[in-house]
Amino acid sequence: MNFTILKKDVGSLARRGVLHTAHGDVQTPVFMPVGTQASVKAMSNLEIEQLGAEIILGNTYHLNLRPGMELMRQAGGLHAFMNWHKAILTDSGGFQVFSLSKLGKKNRDGIFFQSHLDGSRLFMGPRESMEIQRILASDIAMVFDECTAWPVSWDEARLSLETTLRWACESRQQPRAEGQLVFGIVQGSTYADLRLRAVEEISALDFDGIAIGGVSVGEPEKSMLEVLDICSPALPPQLPHYLMGVGTPRQLIAGILRGIDMFDCVLPTRLGRNGSAYTATGTIPVKAARYKDDFTPIQEDCGCYACRNHSKAYIRHLLHTGEILGARLMTTHNLYFFINLMRQARQHLEQGTFAPFAANIMQTYPEAKSK
């Protein structure tokens, strides 16, 4: 088995586990920093590793455009290219194609769309996506799926789901890199019958893990949690469960309560570059004028490099003067916060004290309307 459950929470679907990959074990629940272009923005591999990250993300669509698969073959895959020795999960590119295919055309084999770089006409389907991920040799490859916008009618969601299920079967049949795991993706918008059908049919394909996709696409948080409440009890318990593209600290904890093991999101890096920091008492706008002469760290008890060495006043100065170090320090802090939040969640699950810990986080971070 590629996934071992070490402890289950008595009051929820939360569980503490270990995901076994070709590049080492990943402790779950886990937050995965996003490294779209073979780099977590503003961070070196050493810094990401020192933060405690055991797995990061790469993106099939973007890496196929730049640097391209010929160079990736020469490099020996994504791990060797970026000199990262721990696990990597690659997104299938389905979400990027979804966002770029408004003027494109879909057929049974995939989707025609335009490059965001030069407008050139491109095509991607399950064969192409899985071949790219085979060359990248990621530890976990995601099947190529079709993501729907929100809101969407039931008929449109049904047709889209049928495409996703067909492409999942085709993705499952493609060659994979040695030791590469493949995860299926559950779609179906916010419709209970479609989501349950997706869980049943994706589960039957015997993937190495199962993901819930098609959330954080504009729907309110309440709708996202309703989707989780529909899907989670029906997910195969022996598989790792991955909630794609989510989210805030509150949403991560809400996901863990519903049996989710894996998360990714651009929020900590994006908000950090824009001057907002996550803390144990909520987010704070470090760029705000009130921190101009605040010589305390972003968070007093934080163990990250930024908080151990610099004040809000200094970091605010860097942000306002456009110094690259400002973005780096903010990113360092936010990623540390998210990774440490998962570390604390694992500890509380082990100790049987997850319920009060979760309640505190849910109270500290108010409901978010969307991503």
At residue 149, the pLDDT reads: 85
Pairwise CA distance, residues 287 & 321, whole Å: 11
Better pLDDT: 331 or 105:
331
At residue 96, the pLDDT reads: 83
Whether the pLDDT of residue 371 is over 50: the answer is no
At residue 113, the pLDDT reads: 85
Whether the pLDDT of residue 163 is over 70: the answer is yes
Q: What's the distance, CA 118 to chain centroid?
A: 27
- The DSSP 8-state label assigned to residue 332 in this structure reads H
At residue 370, the pLDDT reads: 43
User: Among 245, 331, 287, which residue's Cα sits nearest to residue 41?
Assistant: 331
Q: What is the pTM of this model?
A: 0.97
Whether the pLDDT of residue 368 is over 80: the answer is no
Pairwise CA distance, residues 236 & 168, whole Å: 17
pLDDT of 3-53, one tens digit each? Answer: 999 999 999 999 999 999 999 999 999 999 999 999 999 999 999 999 999
Q: CA-CA distances (angstroms) from residue 200 to 186, 187, 206, 234, 278?
A: 9, 11, 11, 8, 37
Q: Work out whether the CA dihedral 351, 356, 359, 360 comes out positive or negative.
A: negative
pLDDT of 275-333, one tens digit each? Answer: 999 999 999 999 999 999 999 999 999 999 999 999 999 999 999 999 999 999 999 99
**Mind listing the domains of the chain with CATH numbers?**
3-266 (3.20.20.105)
Neighbour-count burial for 167-189, b at 16+ CB within 10 Å, e otherwise: bbebbbebebbeebbbbbbbbbb
Catalytic site residues? 91, 264
- The DSSP 8-state label assigned to residue 370 in this structure reads -
